[in-house]
Amino acid sequence: MTAILTEPFLKKLKTLSFITKKYMISRREGRKISRRTGGSIEFADYRKYSSGDEFRYVDWNIYGRSEKLFVKEFCREEELLVYFIIDQSLSMSVGEPPKFFYAQQLAAALSFIGLTTDSRVKIAYFHDTQLNISPDFFGGRSIYKVLETLEKSAPVGATRIADTLSRFLRTARQKGLVVIISDLLDEVDSHKQIAELAARGFDAAIIHTLAPEELNPAVSGQVRLYDIETNQMKQIYITEKELDMYRKEMETLCEKWRQFCLRHHTRYYQAVTNESVEAFTIRFLRQGGLVRQH
């Protein structure tokens, strides 16, 4: 796992920070800026005085010129909590490198960004109806504990995103940025639960992690198809026409997820495991609005 965090990559990661669409409030001050009134760090704007506003925030210079009362608004830097929810199901063991290992590498790189910009990080794994969430990690040195947590898990069980997110929504005590890393290969529709993340005030992002052969399989003729999560096997004959239909179905599936996320204020990214984690993190996420240079 540590091989992914090479010194040149770490230097690039240190120039990045998360972009959040919502304002997060926490008990400790950090680097994330949220709009609050008064007593803060940085001036933001003026607004008209309302009954109950504190007179110490009235701009008397404006009053002297216009005889109208305006109060100053400020920005306060707030700490961000980032949840990484990683699909641990057996379908994530497919690919070379396996999708699960790729997901772990992504979580490690993105955790480093959070930890070095005063954010707190939680690592969560899910399969079947299980959701295991780590304690909070905070500070750059905690990356070693994050790596240790990531390395302890291996693929097991089936994908149950809807159950996982329902449990998460019941137990999460603080709003934050939720990054779901999954192949989304779930027979049960999980759209409702993902939409609820944004509705409940979480800033959500999905990294749809796929192997190249899932998008464009190189098979033909008589083959056996094996469902790694259900242990079911099927023998079929595949023609080029059927392969073409499959590719179109996968394109449609990914586009449906993209459009759904767009409608429900959730950022969608497709990660294919033949692209390096470094290239994906630096190029695609920065262009897609999850991280930025600071």
pLDDT at 46: 73
Band (pLDDT 50/70/90 cuts) for residue 55 is: confident
Distances from the Cα of 241 to the Cαs of 34, 44, 151, 221, 224, in angstroms?
53, 59, 41, 12, 18
Q: What is d(CA 28, CA 120) in angstroms, rounded to the nearest whole number?
A: 10
Percent of the chain with pLDDT over 70: 88
User: What average pLDDT does range 55-63 have in this prediction?
Assistant: 82
pTM of the model: 0.81
- C-alpha 255/C-alpha 157 separation (Å) is 27
Task: Confirm if 119 and 78 have CB atoms less than 8 A apart.
Answer: no
| Predicted confidence (pLDDT) at residue 26 exceeds the cutoff of 50 | no
The pLDDT of residue 24 is above 70:
no
238 compared with 123, residue with greater pLDDT: 123
Mean pLDDT of 44-55: 73
Which value, in Å, is the radius of gyration of the alpha carbons in the chain? 23
Q: With a cut of 70, say whether residue 40 has pLDDT above it.
A: no
Place of tokens 């404006």: 62
Q: What is the model's pLDDT at position 74?
A: 59
According to the model, what pLDDT value does residue 38 have? 40
State pLDDT tens for residues 233-259: 888 888 889 899 999 999 999 999 999
- Hey, what are 239's tokens? 């023609």
**In the predicted structure, residue 36 carries a pLDDT above the cut 60:** no
Using CA atoms, how far residue 25 sits from 38, 61, 244, 256, in Å, is 15, 32, 49, 33
pLDDT in tens, 100-122: 999 999 999 999 999 999 899 99
Q: 231 in the Ramachandran plot: left (φ > 0), alpha (ψ -120 to 50) or beta?
A: left
pLDDT confidence of residue 29: 44
Q: What is the pLDDT of residue 37?
A: 41
Per-residue pLDDT band for 41 (boundaries 50, 70, 90) equals low
Taking the C-alpha atoms of residue 117 and residue 204, their distance in angstroms, rounded to an integer, is 19
pLDDT single digits (tens) 127-172? 988 899 999 999 999 999 999 999 988 999 998 999 999 999 999 9
Say what the pLDDT of residue 25 is: 39
Nearest to 266 by CA among 172, 167, 196, 209: 196
Question: Are 190 and 165 within 8 A, CB to CB?
Answer: yes
Q: In 3-state terms, the chain is what percent helix, strand and coil (to 5)?
A: 40, 30, 35
